[in-house]
Amino acid sequence: MGAHARWAQVLGLLIFAAAAFFPGHTNLQHPSRLLPIAREKAAAAAQSEIPAQVLVEAVRSDLERGRPGARLWEVRRWYPFGLAPLWLAALLAVALWPRLRRLVGWALLSLALALAVLEAFYLGVEYAPLLPQVLGWGETLLVWVAVVLVLFVRRPTDRGVGAVEAHVAAQALLGWFHLLTLPSSEARIRWGTHSLGEMATSLTTNFRPAFWAALAGLMLAFLPVYLRRARRPLASPAFPP
């Protein structure tokens, strides 16, 4: 992968990581129905969620209570932010020590498997199917299959175990889809009961600028890999498709 694309990927992850330290969501449910002054007062009183703070407090709570993962599971909606340091460390490691490519690649593939399992449980709890009963379970299964495809289906040039940039891009793309489901799920709750303008105002108020900056950063982290011209494999041999 070219140097420009590689630096763009790193820049995107840095933007994404920085966004974790700013409010990502505020629980204002119907801001379009508030008067301007009331809206300002409500915004000041509303509880904001800072992803980095939420994740750190969850880990601290789990350690204090001796229940690893219990509180962390409750804040699972923000999990992609916790992966940013790992992705940056992987890219830095292979840039400084190219001989570590295969080792880092295997670590990222293991992480991808863990993410597939995590998303299976996440969808089982959070996903609200559009179809009823048994068909709804089938719909949920199809969504999980899409998750697996995002993580593991690549172009031949990106299937190498040592294709670290491609592994990071795939996981960043999954994180982008995951975070995008947060406003889309909120919109689904109000679909049919509120106008499109009210929903748009609500989403752009509830989800703070840092959230949208995080989505933009993730796009910059995966687009350089997916849009670059296919040349030679990043590394070989390839893992099974």
Proportion of the chain in helix, strand, coil states, percent, rounded to 5: 75, 5, 20
Residue 196 lies in a domain: yes
In a domain, 34, yes or no: no
Judge whether residue 149 has pLDDT over 70: yes
Calculate what percentage of the chain has a pLDDT beyond 70: 82
pLDDT (tens digit per residue) in 184-224: 877 776 666 666 767 777 788 889 999 999 999 999 999 99
Residue 65 belongs to a domain: no
Q: Would you give the distance in Å from CA 182 to the centre of its chain?
A: 10
**How many CB atoms lie under 10 A from the CB of residue 39?**
16
Q: Is residue 97 one of the residues assigned to a domain? A: yes
pTM over the 0.75 mark:
yes
* Contact yes or no for 34/54 (Cβ under 8 A): no
Confidence of residue 36 (pLDDT cuts 50, 70, 90): very low
Quick check: is 126 in a domain?
yes
Closest among 78, 90, 85 to 51, alpha carbons compared: 78
Read off the pLDDT of each residue in 77-92 and give the average, rounded to a whole number: 96
Number of domains in the chain: 1
Find where tokens 């994404």 sit: 16
Is residue 154 in some structural domain?
A: yes
DSSP state of 180: H
Position 205 in a domain = yes
Q: Which of 18-22, 71-75, 164-168 has the lowest mean pLDDT?
A: 71-75
Greater confidence, 1 or 239? 1
What are the angstrom distances between the C-alpha of 229 and each of 23, 45, 49?
A: 37, 50, 39
Per-residue pLDDT band at 24 (split at 50, 70, 90): very high
In which domain, by residue range, is 189 found?
A: 3-19+80-227
DSSP state of 160: B
**Residue 149 maps to a domain:** yes
pLDDT digits (tens, 9 = 90+) for 99-134: 999 999 999 999 999 999 999 999 888 877 777 777
